Structure 1
Amino acid sequence: MRKIKILTGLCLLIGLTACAPGSEIQSGEPQGIEHKQPKVKELSAQERKEVLTKIDTGMVEAQNDFGLRLHQALSNNPEYPNGNLIISPYSITQALALAYNGTAGGTAAEMSDVLGWKGMSVADINGGNRQLRSLLENGGGVVLNVANSVWHRPGLKLKEAYVEAVKDSYGAEVRETDLKQEEAMNEINQWVNDKTSGMIPSIYNEPPGGVAVLINAIYFNGGWTDEFDPANTVDEEFTLSDGTTQKVPMMKREGRYSYKEGKSWQAIRIPYGDGRMHMLVILPKESSSMDKLHRQLWKDASVWKGDYSYETVQLALPKFKAEQSFELPDALKSLGMVKAFDTAEADFSEMAEQGDGFWIDHVTHRTIVDVSEKGTEAAAVTAVGITESAEPTEPIVMNVDRPFFFAIEDRDTGAWLFMGSVLKP
Structure 2
Amino acid sequence: MATGKGSSACQSGQTAFAARLLGRFAAVAAADGSNLIFSPLSIHIALALMSTGASGDTLAEILAVAGAPSRDELQAFVRDSVIDRVLADQSGAGGPIVAFACGAWMDWRMPLRPEYRDTIVSAFKGSATTVDFLDKPVESRVQINAWVAEVTRGLITEMVNPNAQSKDTVNVVINAIYFKGNWRDPFRKENTIDHEFHLLDGSTIDVPFMQNWCDQQIACYDGFKVLKLPYKSMDVDRSSPDFDWMQLKSIPKFYMCIFLPDTCDGLQSLLEEITSSPKFLLNHLPLMLVPVNEFRLPRFKLNFGGSIVEDLKSLGLILPFDPLTASVSEITEVDTTDDGQIYVSEVIHKAVVDVNEEGCEAAAATESDDDMGFSLDYEPPKLVDFVADHPFAFFIIEETSGSVVFAGHVLDPSRE
For the aligned pair, the TM-score class normalised by the smaller chain equals 0.7 to 0.9
- Select which of 175, 179, 187 maps to 2:133: 179
Is this contact kept in 1: 2:139–2:162, CA < 8 A?
A: no
Aligned structure 1 segments of 4 or more residues deviating by more than 3 angstroms: 51-55, 75-80, 353-356
Partner of 1:195: 151
Q: CA deviation at 1:89?
A: 0.6
Partner of 1:134: 84
Partner of 2:231: 272
Q: CA deviation at 1:53?
A: 7.2
* Root mean square deviation of aligned Cα: 2.3
Partner of 1:406: 394
Deviations 1:135-175 (A, max 9, x none): 11333711111110000001312222211112101011100
Aligned partners of 2:4, 2:210: CA distance in 1, in Å? Answer: 38
Is this contact kept in 2: 1:71–1:85, CA < 8 A?
A: no
Q: How does 1:10-409 map to 2 (within 5 A)?
A: 56-77=7-28, 81-117=32-68, 120-132=69-81, 133-138=83-88, 139=90, 141-180=95-134, 181=136, 182-206=138-162, 208=165, 209=167, 210-274=169-233, 276-286=253-263, 289-306=266-283, 308-313=287-292, 314-353=294-333, 354=335, 357-374=341-358, 395-409=383-397
Shift in CA distance, 328/79, structure 1 to aligned 2, threshold 3 Å: farther
Aligned partners of 1:406, 1:55: CA distance in 2, in Å? Answer: 29
User: Match of 1:299, SS?
Assistant: coil
TM-score, with length taken from structure 1: 0.79
Is this contact kept in 1: 2:303–2:353, CA < 8 A?
A: yes
Q: CA deviation at 1:93?
A: 1.1
Structure with the larger RCO, 1 or 2 (CA within 8 Å, 6+ apart) = 1
Is this contact kept in 2: 1:75–1:81, CA < 8 A?
A: no
Shift in CA distance, 113/183, structure 1 to aligned 2, threshold 3 Å: same
User: Match of 1:96, SS?
Assistant: helix
Deviations 1:223-282 (A, max 9, x none): 001111111111111111222211111100122232212101100110111282110111
Aligned partners of 2:399, 2:195: CA distance in 1, in Å? Answer: 31
Deviations 1:28-56 (A, max 9, x none): xxxxxxxxxxxxxxxxxxxxxxx997992
Aligned partners of 2:15, 2:105: CA distance in 1, in Å? Answer: 28
Partner of 1:37: none
Is this contact kept in 1: 2:256–2:397, CA < 8 A?
A: yes
Shift in CA distance, 363/80, structure 1 to aligned 2, threshold 3 Å: farther
The one-letter code of the counterpart of 2:411 is L
Aligned partners of 1:170, 1:78: CA distance in 2, in Å? Answer: 31
The one-letter code of the counterpart of 1:58 is A
Aligned partners of 2:206, 2:30: CA distance in 1, in Å? Answer: 25
User: Match of 1:57, SS?
Assistant: helix
Aligned partners of 1:253, 1:123: CA distance in 2, in Å? Answer: 47
Shift in CA distance, 339/79, structure 1 to aligned 2, threshold 3 Å: farther
Aligned partners of 1:104, 1:359: CA distance in 2, in Å? Answer: 12
**Aligned-residue identity in percent:** 29
User: Match of 1:103, SS?
Assistant: coil
Structure 2 gap segments, 5+ residues each: 235-252, 361-380
The one-letter code of the counterpart of 2:221 is G
Is this contact kept in 2: 1:264–1:287, CA < 8 A?
A: no
Tell me whether 70-79 or 221-230 shows the greater mean CA deviation: 70-79
TM-score, with length taken from structure 2: 0.81
